[in-house]
């Protein structure tokens, strides 16, 4: 556990007045506050650090203790104990500070030095605070996002069973009310925000509700027409290939695409692009026939 220089964190000198501390804290808080930097973990970390620095330096008692022991903070408790024993050997010590609900946001250094002398919650003590919002990421295979299903997630040690509606998009975030951090002083719980990451499928690509795939088409089927079977997410589909089909031809299978999010029974389309495969390793007979064919055009 390293010593934290709170003065350096706030960019102030050790002789800073309470007004200087407040001004420095507010300036940095405006820059790094999580409300102003949504989804920015670095900003959140920085904000927690400056919040901790402010918690110590804006409180006369904590600041005094911090200044007194400085880099020798690890021995602070021993010093305190021996001094107290000298002064009042029989009187029980009473904890002067309540709270402690913000301890989770403070460093080990802070906890070690100030014990449960937690934050009073800024300038509005005893206010009811809504709990912190939690963010989580859930990775799904394309086929999993194709059907509505239930999944159990473990968030901060609590199991939450959620229903993931078919058609959820890559990067989409859903909110689960009340599953964030616990509110303080009776305030409501925060919410849980889950962002979905849909992993790429090896053959099928998705854009919104439509699916796209490329299939190899045999030269002879392309020229003379025929049938072929392809895999979609809902099963195999037999396709009729028209004679003289060109390379890159795109066909649409209506309603065979991805389910539309929260629109039951509605599906996008499935687009198939033909990739013409010309034969290789021709036999002498095949070469002869191709030569003959070329003379006809």
Partner 1 sequence: MEKTYHIALNDFCKNHNIEISFIESLQNTGLIEASELQEAGFIEVEQLMQLEMYVRFHYDLDINLEGIETIMHLLNRIETQHKEIVKLKNKLMLYELNE
Binding interface with partner 1 (CB under 8 A) = 26, 29-30, 33, 35-36, 38-39, 122-128, 130, 169-172, 185, 187-188, 191, 200, 205-208, 212, 214
Nearer to partner 1, 92 or 123 (CB): 123
Distance from C-alpha of 199 to C-alpha of 185, rounded to nearest angstrom: 41
Nearer to partner 1 by Cβ, of 64 and 185: the residue is: 185
Per-residue tokens: 249: 């031809």
Q: 111 vs 130, which CB is nearer to partner 1?
A: 130
The span from the CA of 54 to the CA of 57, in Å, is 5
The first and second tokens of residue 68, run together, are 């007194």
Q: Minimum Å distance from CB 173 to partner 1?
A: 9
**CB of residue 128 vs partner 1: minimum separation in angstroms?**
4
Q: How far apart are CA 231 and CA 226, in angstroms?
A: 17
* Residue (of 116, 271, 112, 129) closest to 189 by Cα position: 129
Round to whole Å and give the CA distance between 55 and 6: 10
- Beta-bridge mates of residue 150: 163
CB of 187 to partner 1, least distance (A): 7
CB 68 → partner 1: shortest distance, Å?
A: 28
> Is the Cβ of residue 84 or residue 177 nearer to partner 1 in the bound state?
177
Chain-centroid distance of CA 76 in Å reads: 39
Q: Of the two residues 187 and 243, which places its CB atom closer to partner 1 in the complex?
A: 187
What minimum distance in Å lies between the beta carbon of 191 and partner 1? 8
């Amino acid at each position: 556990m390293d010593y934290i220089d709170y003065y350096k964190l706030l960019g102030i000198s050790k002789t800073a007045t309470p007004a200087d501390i407040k001004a420095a804290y507010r300036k940095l808080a405006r820059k790094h506050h999580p409300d102003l930097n949504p989804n920015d973990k670095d900003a959140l970390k920085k904000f927690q650090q400056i919040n901790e620095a402010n918690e110590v330096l804006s409180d006369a008692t904590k600041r005094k203790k911090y200044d007194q022991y400085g880099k020798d903070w690890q021995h602070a408790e021993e010093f305190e104990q021996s001094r107290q024993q000298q002064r009042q050997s029989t009187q029980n010590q009473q904890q002067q500070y309540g709270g402690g609900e913000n301890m989770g946001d403070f460093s080990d250094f802070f906890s070690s030095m100030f014990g449960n002398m937690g934050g009073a919650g800024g300038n509005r003590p005893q206010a009811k605070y809504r709990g912190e919002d939690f963010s989580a990421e859930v990775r799904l295979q394309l086929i999993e996002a194709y059907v509505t299903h239930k999944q159990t997630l473990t968030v901060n040690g609590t199991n939450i069973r959620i229903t993931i509606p078919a058609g959820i998009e890559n990067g989409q975030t859903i909110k689960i009310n009340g599953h964030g951090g616990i509110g303080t002083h009776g305030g409501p719980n925060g919410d849980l925000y889950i962002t979905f990451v849909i992993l790429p499928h090896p053959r099928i690509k998705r854009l919104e509700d439509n699916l796209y795939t490329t299939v190899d088409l045999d030269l002879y089927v392309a020229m003379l027409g025929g049938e072929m079977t392809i895999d979609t997410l809902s099963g195999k589909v037999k396709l009729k290939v028209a004679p003289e089909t060109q390379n890159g031809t795109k066909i649409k299978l209506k309603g065979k695409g991805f389910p539309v999010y929260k629109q039951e029974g509605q599906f996008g389309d499935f687009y198939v692009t033909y990739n013409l495969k010309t034969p290789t390793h021709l036999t002498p007979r095949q070469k002869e026939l191709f030569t003959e064919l070329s003379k006809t055009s």
